[in-house]
Homo-oligomer: A and B are copies of this chain.
Amino acid sequence: MADIGIGIIGGGYMGKAHSVAMAAVATVFDTPLRPRLEMIAATSAQSAERYRQAYGFKRGTADWRELVADPAVEAVVIASPQATHREIALAAIENGKHVLCEKPLGESLDDSAAMVAAAEKAGVANMVGFNYIRTPASQYARKLIADGVIGDVTWFRGEHSEDFLADPAAPANWRTETEAAGCLGDLAPHMVNGARALLGPIAEVMADRKTVHAQRGGVAVKNDDQAQMLVNFESGVQGHLYFSRTHHGRKMGYIYEVVGTKGALRFNQEDQNALELYLADGPEAERGYRKILTGPAHPDYAPFCQGPGHGTGYNDTIIIEAKDFLTAIHTGEPVWPTFREGHEVNRILAAARASESGRRWVNVSEI
């Protein structure tokens, strides 16, 4: 097994998660490449050194440019703020590095378009960190739908709600400042990606948003706390998407329901090791939603544990992502979701913003 030098930019929440994943992935999976934690970049030399030690990297740097230019770094994980994605990604790609970028892909359509163009031109592996769709349960849900087990899909409901800003007394901070950090910008991408992964492209949207708490600690809130939209998929399926950061009681409410002509399924990330499936077959008196506990029979579970019901967790979704990224690098074949998917998600968000401001249905092809 060959080594591959990994550089991670950002040592916070997601930077740590990617560090853990890179440390563990080759022991969990039979990957062709084994990550070597080469360098971590942070905003100061001090924090870079702290992360280096804590996460086990060889080197730390306060300058991401050094990282993306370093010959020992072969693949870059971008886990820094959205506003930095484009510049970093373009520089990394220019240096021929493979890039895994956190979601959302940049701050704007313009950003993501530029990133797609650069990555595709350079032919490097490129991927967006939509990790939630990678649980064994959600991977299996995709398969059930694709295999027609629930028939032709007739309804979709998707949600990503949390309660980190539900308390009206929570102070204003960077999360309440910019359009990109708002509920639509920050929380929607995972589930928009999920909706597309499960049902395919979205044709049109009719959106509405709300700033639930206009002021926090005397400071004006400049973006949305809640967003929702009616959607119609290209397949003709009707659906609804809802996002919130003020939904008390929801801790990780990445939730979806898919109804078809032969059955239905539903999932809640808060119980990520279960998938509920209803099949309209067999005796009427014995039908009901069954709660399937994931196990080795579900995609990507077995390498974690041979026992069903033993469960994977949050970091394991990042490990799965890392495995797929390494595979893309090794094979030279693109792995879903590439930057292009990140850009498509951004188009839906742009359509939603246009819909809300115009109080009208917006066809995504307009964007």
Contacts and interface: CB of A to CB of B under 8 A. Distances in A.
Interface of A: 1, 13, 16-17, 19-20, 23-24, 26-28, 30, 34, 53-56, 140, 149-151, 154-155, 157, 162-164, 166-168, 206, 208, 210, 212, 225-226, 228-230, 232, 238, 240, 242, 244, 246-253, 259-264, 269-274, 276-280, 283-293, 295, 297-298, 304-316, 359-361
A313 B250 CA distance: 19
Specify how many copies of this chain sit in the oligomer.
4
Contacts of A289: 249, 290-291
A7 B55 CA distance: 21
A166 B305 contact: no
A270 B270 contact: no
A287 B290 CA distance: 7
B56 A34 contact: yes
A285 B278 contact: no
A86 to B, nearest CB: 26
A155 B246 CA distance: 9
A261 B225 CA distance: 12
A257 B208 CA distance: 18
A35 B286 CA distance: 35
Indicate the member of A27, A55, A269, A361 with the most B CB atoms within 10 Å.
A27
The 9 closest A-B pairs by CB, nearest first: A251-B309, A313-B313, A249-B278, A252-B309, A290-B290, A285-B297, A288-B292, A288-B290, A310-B314
B238 A264 contact: no
A307 B272 CA distance: 14
A3 B170 CA distance: 42
Given A247-B264, A248-B264, A210 B238 contact: yes
A78 B154 CA distance: 35
Contacts of A16: 27
A251 B313 contact: no
